[in-house]
Structure 1
Amino acid sequence: MLTTLLRDSRALGALAVPLILTQLAQVALTTTDTVMMGLLGTTELAAGGLAIVIFNQIRTMGVGLVTSVGNRIAAAAARAERIGAVGEGAEEAARREVRAVVRAGLAVATLAGVVGALIMIVTGQLLTRLGQDAAVVGLTRTMLYALSPGLLPCLWFQAIRQFTVGMRRPQALLRITLASIGVNAGLNWVLVHGTFGLPRLGLTGVGIATSAVYLLSFIALLLAARRDEELAPLLALDITRADATTVKQLLGLGVPIAATYGSEAGFFSVTALMAGSFGPEALAAHTAVNQLVYIVFQVAVGLSHAASINVSRELALGNHDGARRTKNTALACAAVVMSVVGISYLALPRLVLAPFLETGSDRALTIAAHLLVITAFLQFFDCAQNIGVGLLRGLDDTKSGFRITLIGYWAVGLPTAWLLAYALRLDTAGIWLGLLTGLAATALLLLRRYDTALAATQPRPAATSA
């Protein structure tokens, strides 16, 4: 049993670790932008932060639309491996399926990028009607104009990323993302301050730098895939030849994923507004702890993607036991990481919070330290529910994941947070206990649904006659 768990953990880790490190590197990328905006001033930070919130909401949902590309490619690649011995014709048919999914994924990314960019521009025009400060709105609108062209290469990158992950060759992702941090920082400095004879663009320079980095990252990943002997023959870029049926299938899977991502982001946004109702110290504490959760959440994202791809692969190979073990392995790996993180929260709360609240008020630091106690347990469920969504995606079941997260987040978590925070007067701690409750309910429902759905895919043994 232990030997099997260790073997499965190594197999999962080979795919999950590069994805986790890539996710953490992307956090560093956005942190660079935030630091640069903060150096420009409070108004610039507020405007840039608002623009990034809008951009990230649309980008996250766009990423959801192409996330299932990895699962479809993993299943097709596994079928090619499984039937390779049957004959070249059967294997080539499976390879054609991979190429069709790549083309369709890029077509969906293109559609989402164009529509999303238009939504960003329109949203910028509507901000004055949402009660925002006029000075902030003007800067936010300009920032959105600079960010909107970057959405298209950003989603192209995600489509190619899912292709490399589905083929179980994600190694180039980490190198490219790490390099993009340095490029982003350099471009930010040059464009914001106008060095080397360039005009001083201020906040707009941050947006242009971000868009440029997305374009360069896409080109770098595309070139890396073209140099890979296994990936290059399957990399089909002509979206005009995209199969309409495959595009429709990807959208059928992707729309619920996008809605799930949007729902989760909205859930946490509402709780931030609730925390703000208890004063600036409570909001500062909530923001600091939420950022810690977001950083650690990248581990869950990597494990979820890896588990999802492995489930798709195991089922395509007809290995239901392997798909069942994938769930247990992913949850075991998550438990180990979350235990280490949780112990650090409980043992060294002030050290953990120092980067965020070192110069803040003592009350904010005290509130945040109390929230860390809740967060030490919350992160187990946060990680488990994200893994659950990925496992169901591996079964091509994205609608159940969306429905369950609606129940867990909005029907259980949010009412509980309101009851504990306001009716029982637990304030910010009540909000986070509500978050914990919602995430726990979501995790349990998702994992139960996975077990049920997986059992339904198991072929029944043929009846024997006496």
Structure 2
Amino acid sequence: MQITDYTKEFKYNWKLAAPVMLGMLGHTFVSFVDNIMVGQLGTAELAAVSLGNSFMFIAMSLGIGFSTAITPLIAEADAAQNFLKGKSFFKHGLFLCTVLGVLLFLLVFFAKPIMYLMKQPEEVVELAIPYLDLVAFSLIPLIVFQGFKQFSDGLSMTRYPMYATILGNIINIVLNYLLIFGKFGFPELGIVGAAYGTLASRVIMVWYLWFLLQSKEKSKAYVTNIKFFDLNKFKLKKLLNLGAPSAMQMFFEVAIFTAAIWLSGLLGKNPQAANQIALNLSSMTFMVAMGLSVASMVRVGNQKGLKNYVELRRIAFSIFLLGVILATCFAVLFFVFHDYLPKIYVDFDDAENLADNTEVISIASKLLIAAAIFQISDSIQVLVLGALRGLQDVKIPTVITFISYWLIGFPISWYLGKEDAYGSFGIWLGLLSGLTTAAILLYIRFNYLTKKLILSNIK
């Protein structure tokens, strides 16, 4: 094949992925705004949000990872024009997402005392606990929203979750400003105000996405007259078989980044705050890759429904190529501006915290060099993972992600991240190793499976 066989797909890939990217960026932008506003209060407050969100990231990874099982099933049913099958999988997926949201809230709520056993700075823990109480409850609307979002993506209606996320962001920013700093007569709640903003915005996002979907002809019949408790064991089992490994895949990756937060906390509040800055910036570029990953999942799922495996492989590679090009651009951006980007997060006019802020910026700027290097491997692994989910191949990729992040990445982070070794930069070298291993092994898996499908189709 010629290069144009892949590049001609860029326009449609971008059209499908761009709203997902913006929606994903919206989730990260909530954290971005929280971090900037809370960063004005001090490095201890920023570290507290980082610590509290580290528990949230683990729970979110399980919920969001599980919800991705809905997308390929809807995409396959949509390509086959099987409405009843599609609606049934959506209903069962929404039910499981709701149950999972409640369970994850309870898990995080009762896990708070673990913070005291983690050797984190005491002032950081004291600030993090009241923040986590409210943010944990927001897991319920967030995972329900993900159920609607993944369904909408499966129908290739990727714009509507984006609109809901934009509205949620606007509400979050306004409430943050009012409640963190106590503006216009509102109480000054500090980082707890950020938690209230997050909770309110996520409730409104669920309502608004449902409102949009029930007003569109293609999706109205799916999202109305749902017999929520009329459940089928086979459909539940199918979703659990796809969703549980997908949840573990995302959990293994997010958990190693969360471990990086905890390892940074062992070095002190300033390394932890610096880690949060670098993590927040790199997670924003990762959401672009996540958007393309959803496009990969949808388009591969469509071709699987049509049993057109040659076309499936060509389309997947076109998405991989686009992802690598974008990741390279982000890598250059991080490398060139690694000294400047972290300065957005702290207040250099705060004379009292100037020494802390200066140290945080110095550490964060070095971490962005590591983040620049792993942009490409991070992008490849998530794009190929999306394509494998589109093929409904989830068990072997789960094993691959565990090996990559926890048998290779984490030991390197732990060993090189000690204070007498490379410190914070060593932690991120472990992240780079895990992501690169995952990218290579997942690509080998996809290449093997698609060639096998093509050969079996010819026979």
- Which TM-score bucket, shorter chain as reference? 0.7 to 0.9
Q: Is the 8 A contact 1:24 1:295 kept in 2?
A: yes
Q: Deviations over 1:148-178 (max 9, x none)?
A: 4422221111111111100001112222212
Q: What is residue 387 of structure 2 aligned with on the other side?
A: 391
Deviations 1:407-460 (A, max 9, x none): 111222233445556699455444433332221111010011011122333363
Matched with 1:174 is 162
What SS class does the counterpart of residue 229 from structure 2 fall into?
Answer: helix
Amino acid at match of 1:326: I
Counterpart residue number, 1:239 = 228
Q: Which amino acid in 1 is paired with 2:389?
A: R
How many Å separate the matches in 1 of 2:155 and 2:34?
32
In our comparison, the structure showing a higher alpha carbon Rg is: 1
The match for 1:7 is: 8
1:186 to 2:149 alignment: no
- Identity between Structure 1 and Structure 2 (%): 27
Query: Which of 336, 341, 353 pairs up with 1:347?
Result: 336
CA distance in 1, matches of 2:406, 2:358: 33
Alignment equivalent of 1:326, drawn from 315, 320, 339: 315
Distance in 2 (alpha carbons) for counterparts of 1:158 and 1:292: 23
Q: For residues 129 and 365 of structure 2, what CA distance do their matches in structure 1 show?
A: 37
Contact 1:334 1:384 in 2 (8 A): yes
With CA pairs under 8 Å and 6+ residues apart, which has the higher RCO, 1 or 2? 2
| Residue correspondence of structure 1 range 124-135 to structure 2 within 5 A | 124=112, 127-128=115-116
| RMSD between superposed Cα atoms in Å | 3.0
* Structure 1 pair 135–111 and aligned structure 2 pair: CA distance change class (3 A): same
Cα 1:59/1:377, change in 2 over 3 Å: closer
SS at match of 2:392: coil
Residue of structure 2 aligned with 1:291, choices 267, 272, 280 = 280
Aligned to 1:57: 58
CA contact (8 A) 2:17 2:158 kept: no
- What whole-Å deviation, never above 9, does each CA across 1:13-36 have from its counterpart, x for those lacking one? 111111111111222212223344
**Contact 1:76 1:98 survives alignment (8 Å):** yes
Confirm or deny: 8 A CA contact 1:27 1:295 kept in the other structure.
yes
Asked if 1:100 is matched to 2:88, the reply is yes
- Runs of 5+ consecutive residues of structure 2 not aligned to the other structure: 349-355
Other-structure match for 2:439: 443
Instruction: Rate the CA distance shift 1:76–1:38 in 2: closer, same or farther, 3 A.
Output: same
1:240 counterpart SS class: coil
What is the aligned partner in structure 1 of residue 72 from structure 2? 71
The one of 327, 331, 338 equivalent to 1:338 is 327
**Matches of 2:369 and 2:36 in 1, distance apart?**
28
Unmatched segments (≥5 aa) in structure 1: 81-93
Distance change (3 Å), C-alpha of 1:197 and 1:422: closer
Aligned to 2:147: 159
Does the CA contact (< 8 Å) of 2:50 and 2:261 recur in 1?
A: no
Alpha-carbon distance between aligned partners in 2 of 1:371 and 1:49, rounded to the nearest angstrom: 16
TM-score (norm 1): 0.86
Residue 72 of structure 1 contacts residue 101 of structure 1 at CA under 8 Å; is this kept in 2?
A: yes
Aligned ranges for residues 141-152 of structure 1 at < 5 Å?
Answer: 141-152=129-140
Structure 1 residue 385 displacement after superposition:
0.8
Following superposition, the deviation at residue 403 of structure 1 comes to 0.6
AA at the equivalent of 2:222 = L
Q: State how far apart, in whole Å, the 1-side matches of 2:437 and 2:135 are.
A: 37
Deviations 1:362-421 (A, max 9, x none): 666555545444433311001111112111111111111211011111222233445556
CA contact (8 A) 1:121 1:141 kept: no
Contact 1:37 1:44 in 2 (8 A): yes
